[in-house]
Amino acid sequence: MRTRQQNVTAAQWSVNGGAMGTTDLTEPGANVYGSSVFTVAEQRQRLPKHVFKQLQATLDAGEPLNASIADAVAQAMREWAMEKGATHYTHWFQPLTGLTAEKHDSFYNPTGDGFAIAEFSGKELIQGEPDASSFPTGGIRATFEARGYTAWDPSSPAFILDNPNGAVLCIPTAFVSWTGEALDHKIPLLRSMDALSRSAVRALRLFGDEEAQRIFTTVGPEQEYFLIDEQYYFERPDLYTTGRTLFGAKPPRGHELDEHYFGSIPERVLACMLEAERELQTLGVPVKTRHNEVAPAQYELAPIYENSNIGSDHQQLTMQVLQNVARRYGLVCLLHEKPFAGVNGSGKHNNWSMGTDTGHNLLEPGDTPDENAQFMFFCAAVIKAVNKHQQLLRASVANVGQDHRLGANEAPPAIISIFLGQELENAFTKVATGKGRRTKKGLLGLGAEALPHLPLHGGDRNRTSPFAFTGNKFEFRALGSSMSLGFVNTVLNTIVAESIDELCASLEKQLKAAKGDLGAAVSAVVKDVWEGNKQIVFNGDGYSTSWHKEAEKRGLANLPTTPDALPWLVEKQTIKAFENYKVLSERELESRFEVFVEQYSTKLNIEGETAASIARTMILPAALRQAELLDDAGESAGIERLKEELSGLTDELVEGIFELEKANRDHPAEEGLELAKYMRDAVIPAMDRVRDAADQLERIVADDLWPLPKYSEMLFIK
């Protein structure tokens, strides 16, 4: 039987030994930023001068590391790590699970005379060999073929993860099969960044930029998450098994009062945030912003923009640190896309841009005609890429949690569109037609009389748009809270690289036709792009039903569920783009399709079996005890009405349980996409039927008989 004492216990909190306490930031050494990272400054201090120069030159050029300097780097890295308390090292990698993986090896090797010596060679730094047999490969490897390799990524700095009983040196690495295929999210991301760099440098040369040698894509992910008391979490088998509540009636109070959003952060939560941020700062994660999100118990953390590869690594660390630190405060961090029905779910806005190694943002409007011509060119390339590969972008953010979130009130629809803002849309219209509505700021002709002056913020934000231009970047708002950034940004980089090259070819032709007049040539290219792709641009309300009808008229794809979207990973145009840019082979793309489809089906199977178990062993007994309570209450018209109500819902629950258990058992013989469709079409409706009856029972069964913590408790008791 449940009592209210657990709520009192959950609400109590005081500063404990796990909290970091306060720090005098004016004291020397109080700035901990990057203190657990083998930074360039540490490298400069510890490496021989010639080794340091060779290492930095290699990284600047984006070339493989010379093995001759690896031993010196390994020795310096080991000495630094051991001074930080590390006794072990690990090749930290990101398999297709979407999580990180690690195998710890000790620095100490026995000498044969009863002693041990600390060693770490360049060979151990550069390459590892974890058992690869049980990682998802999508058919690239058979289970009995266990060999896989991790390879050091020197462009992402090594770091120390502390534990109360020690520390471990983490070396970011790529993960590859014995036969050379990428088994992770890092390798394709690095390949795609190289591909985009080559295409963008080609474009810059056409604009007369001979200085920039390399282009970097950047990301700034806004991480949303929930924090609930761990007592409630461990009393909910659905939460600790699946990450979301499979049952739960809508509470009388949700977030309709709008008082939580950007409200005062509760003391316990703020203490947790401060410690998580401090730990992230020591790891070199440039955390910048924290605030309450819309839903009760929901929060957000956002960093400053970084190189896409490092930013993706840091995002994995951010999720890990948030989950670890929360436990020190008696809280659990939920990263599921929709942990609570009826209230907002959690996403991860991916703020993406392109910048040169000379410090210029290619997606920031300029002050001169040439700068704005260049900006319009690159912006047009993004528009074309998103329109051509809209289904692929939708597939890149597909998972089982997203099917509950996308299209809801807090998330963009499953229809991919671009928000440009009125100012920028006017600019493209003017280029295409030579006409445009004059804004308050006016339109300033720039040489070709078509390229207007563009302020940094030429319009309001649109929170309903899945892909929005926000001043000097595009914000891809459709990512799920639990997702790795790796694959999404791999897709973005690859399709934009393809688009830039297509525009470069057009610009070269137009330059010849315009006899070298760059402004006229760019105007012609941008005009063609706009006229062929403007249907992807929508500045209105993405939640409205009228937009769905309008999108269909425009020919835009609506892929509401994961099984609808994932096949676009292996469509011909996807394979062509990824193979042309040597980002992923057809086999590697097929492997990801197989892995993602299997993950969808497996997670739904876990949810289905968990829901059936909770309904049969926890909720049904509570309903039967309620029936006994009514039987003991005697006979009256009111009691009979209550019995009839309870009996009807109990029968619905029982029928639903049998239907769900049958759906869980009767999987088709097929695997892959057919199984995923079965899970979507048979298991999810059966789960919904059980939940509907259970949630109605929650409202009428005696509170002390109900076996699960309720939404009103989990969301509001802090």
Residue 12 has pLDDT above 50, yes or no: yes
Tokens 């000379």 appear where? 358
pLDDT at 447: 37
pLDDT at 262: 83
Q: In sequence order, what are the residues at sequence separation of 6 or more whose Cβ sits closer than 8 angstroms to the Cβ of residue 453?
A: 365, 372, 441, 442, 443, 444, 446
pLDDT digits (tens, 9 = 90+) for 558-592: 999 999 999 999 999 999 999 999 999 999 999 99
pLDDT digits (tens, 9 = 90+) for 108-153: 877 666 666 678 888 889 888 776 667 767 766 655 565 688 999 9
Q: Give percent of the chain above pLDDT 70.
A: 89
- Per-residue pLDDT averaged across 519-547, rounded? 92
pLDDT digits (tens, 9 = 90+) for 454-489: 454 545 566 678 999 988 999 999 999 999 999 999
CATH superfamily of 192-597: Glutamine synthetase/guanido kinase, catalytic domain (3.30.590.10)
Give the distance between the most distant pair of CA atoms in the chain: 97
Nearest alpha carbon to residue 122 among 149, 151, 95: 151
Does residue 533 contact residue 390 with C-beta atoms inside 8 Å? Answer: no
* Radius of gyration of the CA atoms of the chain, in A: 28
Does residue 609 contact residue 664 with C-beta atoms inside 8 Å? Answer: yes
What does the chain come to in residues? Answer: 718
SS (HEC) of 170-204: EEEEEEEECCCCECECHHHHHHHHHHHHHHHHHHH
DSSP secondary structure, 396-450, as one string: HT--TTHHHHTTSTTS--SB--EE--HHHHHHHHHHHHS-----TT-----SSS-
Amino acid identity of residue 36, one-letter, is: S
Q: 214 falls in which pLDDT band (50, 70, 90)?
A: very high
End-to-end CA separation in angstroms for the chain: 22
**Which residue intervals of the chain bear CATH 3.10.20.70?**
32-184
- Please count the other Cβ atoms lying within 10 Å of the Cβ belonging to residue 266: 16
DSSP state of 561: S
pLDDT digits (tens, 9 = 90+) for 156-196: 999 999 998 999 999 999 998 877 889 899 999 999 999 99
Strands 348-356 and 215-229: antiparallel
Q: In sequence order, what are the residues at sequence separation of 6 or more whose Cβ sits closer than 8 angstroms to the Cβ of residue 200?
A: 215, 354, 362, 378, 497, 500
Residue 491 has pLDDT above 80, yes or no: yes
Tokens 């072990």 appear where? 88
DSSP tally for the chain: helices H, then strands E: 25, 17
Element (H, E) at 392: helix 390-396
Strands 166-177 and 467-469: unpaired
Q: What are phi and psi of 606, to 5 degrees?
A: -65, -45
C-alpha span between 323 and 329 (Å, rounded): 11
Strands 418-419 and 467-469: parallel
Residues 576, 580, 581, 587: what is their CA dihedral angle, to the nearest 10 degrees? 60
Q: Is 465 exposed, middle or buried (0-12, 13-18, 19+ CB in 10 A)?
A: buried
Amino acid identity of residue 670, one-letter, is: E
CATH superfamily of 32-184: Glutamine synthetase, N-terminal domain (3.10.20.70)
Residue 441 has pLDDT above 70, yes or no: no
C-alpha span between 308 and 298 (Å, rounded): 26
Residue 428 has pLDDT above 70, yes or no: yes
**Which residue intervals of the chain bear CATH 3.30.590.10?**
192-597
Query: How far apart, in Å, are the Cα atoms of 597 and each of 132, 188, 343, 391?
Result: 20, 19, 27, 16
Residues 654, 660, 661, 666: what is their CA dihedral angle, to the nearest 10 degrees? 140
C-alpha span between 353 and 475 (Å, rounded): 9
C-alpha span between 454 and 444 (Å, rounded): 9
DSSP secondary structure, 5-21, as one string: HHHHHHH-----TTS--
